[in-house]
Structure 1
Amino acid sequence: MAEESNREEVDVLIVGAGPVGLTLANLLGGYGVSVLLAEARSDLIDYPRGVGLDDESYRTIQAMGLIEPVRPHTNPNHIVKIVNGKGRVLTANNPTSEPFGFARKHGFIQPLVDRAFFEGLDRYEHVTVAFEHMLIGLEESDDLVTATLEVGPRDMDGTTGPLPGTSPTTRQVCAKFVVGCEGGRSFTRKWLGATFVGESPSTRWLVVDVENDPVGTPGVYLGADPKRPYVSIGLPHAVRRWEFMLHEDEPSDASEDDAFVHGLLTPHVPDPTSLQVIRRRVFTHHGRVADTFRSGRVIIAGDAAHLMPVWMGQGFNSGLRDATNLAWKIATLTRGQAGLDLLDTYDAERREHAKAMVDLSMTMGNFIKQQDKRVALVRDSVSTALGAVPQIKSYFSEMRFKPMPRYTRGVLVDPNTLAPGRAAAKITRDLIPVATAENCDSPVGVQFIQPRVSVAGHDGPILLDDALGPWWAIAAWGNDPRRHLAPELLDKARELGMRFACIVPETQRPWAEAAYEAADDFVVIGDHTGALKRWYDDRPVSLVFIRPDRFVAAAVLAQEASPAFRSLLAALSSTI
């Protein structure tokens, strides 16, 4: 990470050094994009916030190359149990599959993970972090955005002007793109004129974080107690979090009343007076989504674009999804490999899913915080009855109710017509491979799986993304995808930096390595677990175009590689 200088031109200005801004800066740094990350505060936030980390986010952390420094601050397989007022389990989330290479749910300590993200920027001389820099103005032209930053010391809230008695200065930075990741009070969102659609329920919650966990049980308990809904969470490094809903007649400053807080904790620990408290804070849930994520070269992401209620633990994770979707598109634009309209696909792909996660989180909150005892009794009875049905129990246990991202508009190729920009959810073509398939759900617009695989030069199995590399990949089952592209398209794929992968059963790997021409942009992947074969067996496709964010852009039969790639270039607005 470069020291701050007076440089006034940069590819990307990121506003806000929270987890989303830090993630975006790391990804862009890895793609070779120059970045100035401006943060109004004097340092990173050091108090606990998010506590739930999804496998999708872990995959992004893998792409950032930061698994090892982050892993010590996480607990895998974080089981969530919803219990009623008597402590009876109504339902539990305990997903056991690992489709993307990691446990589905993790507990984590956000300040320590954020710090690992921040320290990861030291790897990039072309990434600079500037603290005590508050965005106060934007002016956009055809090819640049000029940002005015107020420079000066301020308190850790970071949302107000400089501290009294100081003399702030201003700094102007010209950037090709500006991304606002500065949270719910985002200046950037207000500059866009975006409407923050949704609601902020009136209920308030008191958060209590303590060290030396006095309970010590792992996992998460969501207490659907009509007397007082609560949350109890076991976290890494012996941290315990409680959240208690405040009644309307209880003031927000009750968090400062030791007797009141001890009363809330009495049913949970033998001696609440001896707890080592990290913080006590009152907050209100918000469920809002901006009606646009972008105007011209100015974009918003994370809490600046959507505010998530805490119930599904999706605030942190949705923000990382934004950064992962956006980073490769900005990198493509800075390389001159697409037109500016590519940014329209960020809004099209991310906003709908963000809204779905907000809606689910609000629904979960309403389920848990029900205070009408009669309604709660019906809820408990119905939940218990449904939980006795194995299929329904599995539906909740494996979290199949959680809406996974499926993009239907964007950098996609329709699996039936091969038309660019859209993708049907079903494959309905009049071909025998389709007609004989048991599953015709299209993989286009969803994430590709990530099992462990065998690759020459590695002593043991590695994760698939590490074999494919950080950029585009064309992966074919049992085939060299280079042989299915027209010569001019093969050249274009190489101009775009795509990597070619031949996936074969492990028994076939020596043959494929000898049969196909070796190259730096080609890899033979041995499917020693059979997971990739099962994926291809289950779908009437044999060749996939995998985006840098690991979503499938196109999925076809091998013979259709060239027409699919032409459509993909159209969807990408390629200018090569």
Structure 2
Amino acid sequence: MDTVHDVVVVGAGPVGLAAARMLGRRGFSVLVLERWPEPYPRPRAVHFDDEIGRVFQGLGLAGPVKAISEAVPDHYEWRNAAGESLVRIDWSGLGPGGWPTASFFSQPDLEKVLAEAVEAMPEVTLLRGAEVVGVEERAEDVLVTYTAVGHRSARARFVIGCDGANSFVREHLGVGWHDQGFFYDWLIVDTIPLDERDWSPQNWQLCDPARPTTIVSGGPGRRRWEFMRLPGETREELNTAEKAWELLGPWGRTPENSRLERHAVYTFAARWADRWNRGRLAIAGDAAHQMPPFAGQGLCSGLRDVANLCWKLDRVLRGESAFALLDTYTSERRAHLQHAIAMSVELGRVICVLDERQAADRDRRMIAGGADPARVLPVSALPVLGDGVLADSPATSTLRGTLAPQFPVGRAGQRALLDDATGDGAVLLTLDEVSEDFDGRAFTIGTDLRDPDGAWARWFEAHRLRAVFIRPDHYIFGAVTDLADTKELVARYRDLVTTATGEPISCV
């Protein structure tokens, strides 16, 4: 007989496992189907930022994730062939999300943390060696057929495709692509150094037209090099262990002082699907978009996807919101993602220059700009969500749809980051007591929540705010400069998420 679940997640990479944990923690039955019988043991993604650290914190995995990652102690630098700095991006210290601005890890280690967490949950079943071969949308459910010791099937109220760039779920949706036409082949070489060495700066790019090269951390105890394929080279010539050692040679890396963990040629692309959800189906992560790795936002974007989708799906599955709420997943995330892709592409255009004259022109321009990202890179605005669950009026337009900070607070005599003190769900933060308590989810800075570092007071003052309304995914629904407008702000949120409220969608 078919098994019955609230949600089937296709794909057990970090995005799929995170989605399963988010939904399992909300009490839903989740089946995760992964085509490969064992986790892939080689490195792939290596970076997450402070926003994504906050996502891991919300999954209850702050400690285990910090244990397998390392924070960047300095800057992310881009140099020309002469060693001159073209751009310096400060990655040191804590970001506004309360986590290190940038952290590096090895993907197998992260997947192990996530897999162990979901396997310990009674609400979640992780089934490996189960390739999805059919998705049939029906009036009251989705029938998912998969191979696992023969053909099996499961019924679900909703299906999330986190099944990578060649997504089966996306193919079933039949959606098109918006492609930026940015394609370059790079050889990725992951190593484990066997010697002691100070890597400073820890992460940088060599913008040398003779061979553009990336040198970054691969997580604790690992280093990664990425080498651009040159004209006249084939992918097959580039993707050998012998070629990897040849390219590592000038960097002092040899079989005597390093272990070669992986070498693979990737084609960097910049594109996104036209639509990310329809009916009872949605896609996330690489199934919905791909981007060059130069800004380190590939995995981050996928985890933002499921953070956005899962709080809305929670409401729909419970019958608190209509299916139409899920359409804001596509409209919000697709627009937001384009900032990450634009930044990645612009950084790619800095490094992927093989013409010496063009490289010299680039170098002069960027050096004249003082290597300041705000001056030498055209993408500088804060990423903002597209149309969706966002306030219209009254609201501060500069903050609406941006990520809220997570400064420390004090509560019950304990110091904690905001989310740990307030818990899951939407939150109203104010500088003064208000009669609108938002079902107990309103907190006043200074009384309900202490401001031990004064960071919240400075932030409210800098934006001339009296109250800010933060969604469950930590993005700002809206903010007001007059406390009298708070009631209208909360009412507008309720209206947007509960319009045309439906019955809980069943799977019977």
- TM-score of the aligned structures, taking structure 2 as reference length: 0.92
The 10-residue stretch of structure 1 (262-271 or 528-537) with the greater mean CA deviation from structure 2: 262-271
Q: How many residues align?
A: 496
| Partners of 2:2 and 2:153 within 8 A in 1 | no
Return the match for 1:527 from 422, 446, 451. 451
Tell me whether 1:468 sits opposite 2:422 in the alignment: yes
Corresponding residue of 1:547:
471
Displacement of 1:407 after TM fit? 2.2
Secondary structure in 1 aligned to 2:251? coil
| Partners of 2:240 and 2:263 within 8 A in 1 | no
Tell me whether 1:105 sits opposite 2:102 in the alignment: yes
Distance (Å, rounded) in 2 between the aligned partners of 1:453 and 1:89: 38
Distance (Å, rounded) in 2 between the aligned partners of 1:7 and 1:541: 53
Cα 1:15/1:144, change in 2 over 3 Å:
same
| Partners of 1:82 and 1:89 within 8 A in 2 | yes
Specify the code of the residue in structure 1 equivalent to 2:468: V
Specify the code of the residue in structure 1 equivalent to 2:167: S
Specify the code of the residue in structure 2 equivalent to 1:207: I
Corresponding residue of 1:503:
445
Displacement of 1:401 after TM fit? 4.2
Cα deviation digits, residues 337-359 of structure 1 (max 9, x gap): 10100001100110012122222
Secondary structure in 2 aligned to 1:125? coil
Displacement of 1:372 after TM fit? 0.5
Secondary structure in 2 aligned to 1:549? coil
Return the match for 2:313 from 327, 330, 338. 330
Tell me whether 1:262 sits opposite 2:223 in the alignment: no
| Partners of 1:77 and 1:94 within 8 A in 2 | no
Return the match for 1:17 from 9, 12, 16. 12
Q: Larger C-alpha radius of gyration, 1 or 2? A: 1
Q: How does 1:162-561 map to 2 (within 5 A)?
A: 169-199=150-180, 201-212=182-193, 216-218=198-200, 219-255=202-238, 257-269=240-252, 271=254, 274-387=257-370, 393=372, 395=374, 401=379, 404-416=382-394, 427=396, 442-458=398-414, 461-479=415-433, 481=434, 483-484=435-436, 493-494=438-439, 499-504=441-446, 509=447, 524-556=448-480, 557-561=482-486
| Partners of 1:213 and 1:239 within 8 A in 2 | no
Specify the code of the residue in structure 2 equivalent to 1:222: Q
| Partners of 1:91 and 1:396 within 8 A in 2 | no
Secondary structure in 2 aligned to 1:484? coil
Displacement of 1:566 after TM fit? 2.3
Displacement of 1:400 after TM fit? 10
Cα deviation digits, residues 283-306 of structure 1 (max 9, x gap): 111111000001111000000000
Distance (Å, rounded) in 2 between the aligned partners of 1:7 and 1:71: 39
Distance (Å, rounded) in 1 between the aligned partners of 2:304 and 2:490: 25
Q: How does 1:79-118 map to 2 (within 5 A)?
A: 79-96=75-92, 98-118=95-115
Specify the code of the residue in structure 2 equivalent to 1:217: W
Give % identity.
32
| Partners of 2:104 and 2:220 within 8 A in 1 | no
Cα deviation digits, residues 89-147 of structure 1 (max 9, x gap): 22211145621111211122121011111111134211111111111111223332121
Distance (Å, rounded) in 2 between the aligned partners of 1:271 and 1:44: 29
| Partners of 2:334 and 2:386 within 8 A in 1 | no
Cα deviation digits, residues 208-265 of structure 1 (max 9, x gap): 1111265540511211110011111133332111111122322323356454333212
Specify the code of the residue in structure 1 equivalent to 2:223: R
Distance (Å, rounded) in 2 between the aligned partners of 1:40 and 1:174: 18
Task: Name structure 2 gaps, 5 residues minimum.
Answer: 503-508
Return the match for 2:23 from 28, 38, 46. 28
Structure number with the bigger relative contact order (C-alpha 8 A, sep ≥ 6) is: 2
Runs (4+) off by over 6 Å = none
Specify the code of the residue in structure 2 equivalent to 1:36: L
Tell me whether 1:61 sits opposite 2:42 in the alignment: no
| Partners of 1:20 and 1:323 within 8 A in 2 | yes
Distance (Å, rounded) in 1 between the aligned partners of 2:253 and 2:168: 46
- TM-score of the aligned structures, taking structure 1 as reference length: 0.82
Cα 1:145/1:404, change in 2 over 3 Å:
farther
Cα 1:396/1:38, change in 2 over 3 Å:
farther
| Partners of 2:346 and 2:378 within 8 A in 1 | no
Distance (Å, rounded) in 2 between the aligned partners of 1:259 and 1:297: 48
Corresponding residue of 2:145:
148
| Partners of 1:15 and 1:178 within 8 A in 2 | yes
Corresponding residue of 2:506:
none
